Amino acid sequence: MDSHMLISTCPWCGKVNEFSTNLLNSGGPRPNDVSVCWTCGGLGRFDESMAVVRMDFAEQTEVFQSRVYQAYLAAKAAAKAAGR
């Protein structure tokens, strides 16, 4: 799991996130990759300009059922257990 400096703003809560981690592959995010806000858990996706945009309900439902979201939940739980 690699972390990359990529400043983005959550389209749900407005939090500025400074890093991005690709939970399934190496390298940074690419257009259409899913973004999960570390603060609010809001789902978005990276557009062609690498800005995070809101996902519609159908897209969110698909993500909640995916291994990507399960990996996010595991990473968040591990960080919380480590006091981060």
Residues 40-80 pLDDT 10s: 888 899 999 999 999 988 988 888 888 878 888 888 888 88
d(CA 12, CA 9): 9
Residues 1-51 pLDDT 10s: 556 678 889 999 999 988 777 666 667 888 988 888 888 888 899 999 999
Q: What pLDDT, on a 0 to 100 scale, did the predictor assign at position 12?
A: 94
Q: What pLDDT, on a 0 to 100 scale, did the predictor assign at position 20?
A: 77
Instruction: Region of 70 please: left (phi>0), alpha (psi -120 to 50) or beta.
Output: alpha
pTM for the structure as a whole: 0.70
Q: What pLDDT, on a 0 to 100 scale, did the predictor assign at position 25?
A: 67
